[in-house]
């Protein structure tokens, strides 16, 4: 009895964290879809939606840091202050970060929630490609086969969306761009982290502050300030409530992702993300009352199955490296993706 209590407590804690991650991630996608493409809202300013979420994230980071400074010291919340030199050093990452969050939202604007995961499913493929081109890291044949399954699922999904008359090439373009930017963001994050003393909290703050500054000329260039001025719900509390809620979910997803990795493992986090994507697709089809063909579902299963297989293969390779100290450096590089 004494041994069961800690195990049950750990299991319950993990279940709560995973459920929190699923809820936050799925709710954020549906909420952003409403803000970006709702017929009842008719708000055609995707960059402003992204800008607002970045501004709120930066404000929440600063507010929580100030709150921690006034109370008991918290090692997870370092003091934040804006340093122009650090901000300039983070700027290349911020440019990639803007491309990532903007293309993610634009992909979601032009494709349905059900197809969203397939539309931006090439992140793993770009991870392998960029790791080879930029970091000179090779990948095992089994991992490459898993990437091939993902690519096949992506193309089958595009074909089936076209057959059903719901294909948006604009959405596909932004989905591919989002996949590329997510991969670049991971690589640049590793390079920039030493500038902020390895603090993800400080990096999030600087990234979002830089993004807010860079968004202004983009919004001006695309005429979004004019769209905002003529928007008929600009004074609606419900509109700003939804915008704020979207920003809070955008801030929270980083925190709950860290929690899930902390209480499980990076491998389990990837498996959980794949399962979450499956649940999100099913929920979207049910919520929007869509009817999909067998091949459309097959494309989703190929993408999810390929992603799971890649995660599983990389997990086995990493375990082999950890257990065998005599593994050659070239073999170690194969597991670095």
pLDDT of residue 69: 63
pTM of the predicted model, to two decimals? 0.85
pLDDT of residue 131: 85
pLDDT of residue 186: 83
Instruction: Between 6 and 226, name the one with better pLDDT.
Output: 226
What gap in Å lies between CA 221 and CA 121, rounded to an integer? 30
Total Cβ atoms within 10 A of residue 322: 10
Q: Indicate the pLDDT class of residue 333, thresholds 50, 70 and 90.
A: very low
- As a whole number, the mean pLDDT across the chain is 86
List, for residues 8-59, the tens digit of each pLDDT value. Answer: 887 888 889 899 999 999 999 999 999 999 988 989 999 999 999 999 999 9
Instruction: Between 4 and 155, name the one with better pLDDT.
Output: 155
Torsion angle of the four alpha carbons 294, 295, 300, 303, in this order, in degrees rounded to the nearest 10: 150
Find the mean pLDDT for residues 78-105: 89
Instruction: Between 81 and 157, name the one with better pLDDT.
Output: 157
| CA angle 123–128–133, rounded 5-degree value | 120
- Return the percentage of the chain with pLDDT > 70, whole number: 91
pLDDT of residue 311: 87
What gap in Å lies between CA 256 and CA 23, rounded to an integer? 10
Residue 300 predicted with pLDDT over 60: yes
Residue 1 predicted with pLDDT over 80: no
pLDDT of residue 321: 74
Q: Indicate the pLDDT class of residue 3, thresholds 50, 70 and 90.
A: low
pLDDT of residue 19: 93
What gap in Å lies between CA 194 and CA 157, rounded to an integer? 40
Rg of the chain in Å (alpha carbons): 21
pLDDT of residue 334: 43
pLDDT of residue 68: 63
pLDDT of residue 331: 46
List, for residues 179-198, the tens digit of each pLDDT value. Answer: 999 889 888 888 888 988 88
Instruction: Between 288 and 67, name the one with better pLDDT.
Output: 288
pLDDT of residue 72: 58
What phi, psi does 307 have (nearest 5°)? -65, -45
Q: Indicate the pLDDT class of residue 330, thresholds 50, 70 and 90.
A: very low
337 and 314 in contact (C-beta within 8 Å)? Answer: yes
List, for residues 47-58, the tens digit of each pLDDT value. Answer: 999 999 999 999
Q: Indicate the pLDDT class of residue 264, thresholds 50, 70 and 90.
A: confident
């Amino acid at each position: 009895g004494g041994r069961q209590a800690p195990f049950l407590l750990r299991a319950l804690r993990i279940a709560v964290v995973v459920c929190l991650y699923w809820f936050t991630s799925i709710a954020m996608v549906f909420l952003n879809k409403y803000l970006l493409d709702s017929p009842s809202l008719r708000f055609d300013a995707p960059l402003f939606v992204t800008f607002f979420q970045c501004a709120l994230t930066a404000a929440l980071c600063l507010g929580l840091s100030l709150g921690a400074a006034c109370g008991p010291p918290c090692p997870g919340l370092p003091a934040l202050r804006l340093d122009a030199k650090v901000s300039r050093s983070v700027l290349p990452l911020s440019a990639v970060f803007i491309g990532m969050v903007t293309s993610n939202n634009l992909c979601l604007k032009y494709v349905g929630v059900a197809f969203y995961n397939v539309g931006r499913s090439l992140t793993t493929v770009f991870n392998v490609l960029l790791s080879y081109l930029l970091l000179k890291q090779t990948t095992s044949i089994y991992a490459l086969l898993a990437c091939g399954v993902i690519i096949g699922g992506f193309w089958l999904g595009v074909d089936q969306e076209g057959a059903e008359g719901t294909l948006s090439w604009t959405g596909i373009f932004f989905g591919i761009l989002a996949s590329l930017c997510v991969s670049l963001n991971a690589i640049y994050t590793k390079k920039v982290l030493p500038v902020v003393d390895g603090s993800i909290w400080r990096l999030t703050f600087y990234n979002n502050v830089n993004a807010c500054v860079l968004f202004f000329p983009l919004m001006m260039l695309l005429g979004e300030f004019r769209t905002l001025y003529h928007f008929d719900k600009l004074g609606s509390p419900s509109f700003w409530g939804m915008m704020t809620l979207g920003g809070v979910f955008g801030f929270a997803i980083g925190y709950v992702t860290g929690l899930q990795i902390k209480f499980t493992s990076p491998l389990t986090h990837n498996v959980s993300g794949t399962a979450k994507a499956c649940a999100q697709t099913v929920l979207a089809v049910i919520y929007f009352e869509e009817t999909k063909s067998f091949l459309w579902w097959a494309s989703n299963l190929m993408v999810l199955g390929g992603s799971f297989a890649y995660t599983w293969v990389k997990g086995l390779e990493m375990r082999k490296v950890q257990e065998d100290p005599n593994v050659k450096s070239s073999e170690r590089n194969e597991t670095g993706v």
